[in-house]
Structure 1
Amino acid sequence: MRLIPLIFALFIANILIVSGQGIGSPGTIKDDGKFAASTKQLNQFFRRFNGEESPTDGNVRYYPGDSLYRNTKLREGFIKVLFDNQTSSISTDLKEEFIKNVLSDVYPQYINFHREGWIAEVQADFLFKGKRETATIILKLQPEGLGYEWVFDRVSFPPFKNLFNKPVGDSKDFLHPLSHELGFMNLRRAFQDSKVPEAFTKSSFKPDYLTLFLYEMKQNNIRFQTVTDVKFHFFQIEGWYFEVNQFNRPGFNTGWLISNLLKLSPGDKETILKYIYDQE
């Protein structure tokens, strides 16, 4: 599932198709295509966004103390070509506002690989009881030992969608509040007679599909086949959300690029996270 319908509902965007741009000396934009060469790795996306890479040689990195390390003009040129400028529906005005905010003289903002505020969304195919199914897996980075590791945070799996259908209101079965006086012998109603034992759970009950997914895998009912799509969701820039996808196509505007951009109003971040995580 994608966030495009959600973003269209919150903001009306205009389709912008522009050519890739390059940079000569810091701040001098030229359309020779060299600077806009494919952002092949996500780590390179981080370096370019932060202005920590040479504009002419992607193998040359800048570090604190280097004259061009996080140079504002260098960053501006990089960020402009880190957008999907061929197919995305991000208006020019929104891009410019975002760039101005990120490059603020008072409060410049950067993205950090090891900091919270970004997650991965992976689409992968599995065989489930002999049938091919697609799962959506949300992963987060967590510290581990002296480094970090990606861990499963949530899974959405279509075969699980209708496993739990908790009734509400008058149709909901329940255990009488004096059940304890009977030694809870009426648990038979929940565990034997009922076809929806989830009706007897607390109001806030939500099934843990990740645990169920891992259990079925341990039972050899689910077998991994292949990854079909990867995207990343970023909330590290204060007041903004953006999505990064990989584009494989001819030309210079390829690789890992910003495909969706949203200026956040109060409550928008929670709405987007709920959309990402609750895809059952």
Structure 2
Amino acid sequence: MKYLLFISILAICLSTSGQSLSDKEFQNNAKYRVKLLDEFMARFNGEETHEMIANEDSLKEDLNLLYLMNAEMFAANKDSMQQISSEFADSIHANRTKLFFDDGQWFAEVKLNCTYMDKETQVTLYLCPEEIKPFQHRWVIVGARSEMLALAPSQRNHGLDILPNNHEVGFMALPKIHLLGNDKILNYAAADYCTDQLTAFYTMIYTGALKMNSTDEITYHFFEVPGFVFTVKRHVRKGFNSGWLISQIKKIEDSAKFTYYQKYISE
């Protein structure tokens, strides 16, 4: 029964999302759109219901969750996505899973348009909620990623080593390092030294070398559902299936989630 429900609802979502609608129809469909992430959470938690669902509908919980899924996920791999989505929904209902801002089991991935040394570039930041004091939270930056922030040279050039007898001349080689190019500095680091892109980001902002101009794409990663991680992105289009929607669902053991998170924000 649930598979038939998925097939019929997704067929409606896919057909309406591609249609060209009049301005009036577009405005009428705005009530179906998930306009804010808070609205997404409220629908996920069952506090709000999609406009097309009747209050007495026996499949209300399944339908409400289904309308939060990006229908385009099912276009290429319909059978496998129907299976994983059904298991995903079963886990949510069985565990009474709810989403809250302050539960600490989610993070934001934000792509930024930036300027570095007068050149346009893009930086990805990772942000998590942090408790300031009871009932007060803020977003904090916990990771950064960009080719520009990856300071390590492609290979170490041992021709740039500081010679072992340089201490006898007061390390006169040090002030000359910059003459070979600032990008060569990591050739002088210890063999086991690893660069930290987040530290590089903070340093470049602090010195004024990097400026953030505008946000581009935002993705939210959620870990609350037992056995799964899922992402939410904003899809701007006409139709019933638009706004902040579940865009990816991945099965993962709960014991592996922290490692997955650490690896994701540091690579």
Q: How does 1:129-208 map to 2 (within 5 A)?
A: 129-145=117-133, 146-161=135-150, 163-165=151-153, 188=171, 195=184, 197=186, 200-201=189-190, 203=192, 205-208=193-196
Paired residues, what number?
232
* CA shift for structure 1 position 191: 5.2
Mapped to 2, the partners of 1:132 and 1:35 lie a distance apart of: 35
Cα RMSD between the aligned structures? 4.0
Q: Which has the higher contact order (CA 8 A, sep 6+)?
A: 2
Structure 1 residues 81 and 164: alpha-carbon distance in aligned structure 2, compared to 1, 3 A threshold: same
Deviations 1:12-56 (A, max 9, x none): xxxx953239xxxxxxxxxxx979811110001111111012444
Mapped to 2, the partners of 1:47 and 1:186 lie a distance apart of: 69
Mapped to 2, the partners of 1:175 and 1:261 lie a distance apart of: 54
Q: Who is 2:86 aligned against?
A: 96
* CA shift for structure 1 position 81: 0.6
Asked if the contact 1:190/1:200 (under 8 Å) is kept, the reply is: no
Mapped to 1, the partners of 2:251 and 2:33 lie a distance apart of: 26
Structure 1 residues 48 and 186: alpha-carbon distance in aligned structure 2, compared to 1, 3 A threshold: farther
Q: How does 1:23-172 map to 2 (within 5 A)?
A: 37-56=32-51, 73-87=59-73, 91-104=81-94, 107-145=95-133, 146-161=135-150, 163-165=151-153
Deviations 1:115-149 (A, max 9, x none): 11100000010111111000000001001245111
Structure 1 residues 193 and 110: alpha-carbon distance in aligned structure 2, compared to 1, 3 A threshold: same
2:248 is paired with a residue of what secondary structure? Answer: strand
* Structure 1 residue ranges without an equivalent (≥5): 1-15, 22-32, 58-66, 177-183
Asked if the contact 2:32/2:50 (under 8 Å) is kept, the reply is: no
Deviations 1:224-268 (A, max 9, x none): 211110000111112111011100011010001111101114775
Asked if the contact 2:91/2:226 (under 8 Å) is kept, the reply is: no
Asked if the contact 1:191/1:197 (under 8 Å) is kept, the reply is: no
Mapped to 2, the partners of 1:186 and 1:37 lie a distance apart of: 74
Paired amino acid for 1:39: V
* Structure 2 residue ranges without an equivalent (≥5): 1-8, 15-27, 178-183
2:130 is paired with a residue of what secondary structure? Answer: strand
Asked if the contact 1:17/1:87 (under 8 Å) is kept, the reply is: no
Mapped to 2, the partners of 1:225 and 1:49 lie a distance apart of: 33
* CA shift for structure 1 position 275: 4.8
Q: Which segment drifts farther, 269-278 or 239-248?
A: 269-278
Mapped to 1, the partners of 2:143 and 2:162 lie a distance apart of: 30
Q: Who is 2:12 aligned against?
A: 19
Q: Is residue 262 of structure 1 aligned with residue 222 of structure 2?
A: no
Q: Is residue 228 of structure 1 aligned with residue 216 of structure 2?
A: yes
- Structure 1 segments, 4+ long, off by >6 Å, are 33-36, 173-176, 184-187
Paired amino acid for 1:138: Y
2:102 is paired with a residue of what secondary structure? Answer: coil
Paired amino acid for 1:79: L
Structure 1 residues 117 and 108: alpha-carbon distance in aligned structure 2, compared to 1, 3 A threshold: same
* CA shift for structure 1 position 158: 1.8
* CA shift for structure 1 position 72: 8.9
Mapped to 1, the partners of 2:207 and 2:58 lie a distance apart of: 54
* CA shift for structure 1 position 271: 5.7
Higher helix share: 2
Q: Tell me the TM-score normalized by structure 1.
A: 0.68
Asked if the contact 1:166/1:196 (under 8 Å) is kept, the reply is: no
Asked if the contact 2:236/2:242 (under 8 Å) is kept, the reply is: yes
Q: Tell me the TM-score normalized by structure 2.
A: 0.71
* CA shift for structure 1 position 110: 1.7
Mapped to 2, the partners of 1:102 and 1:164 lie a distance apart of: 43
Structure 1 residues 138 and 164: alpha-carbon distance in aligned structure 2, compared to 1, 3 A threshold: same
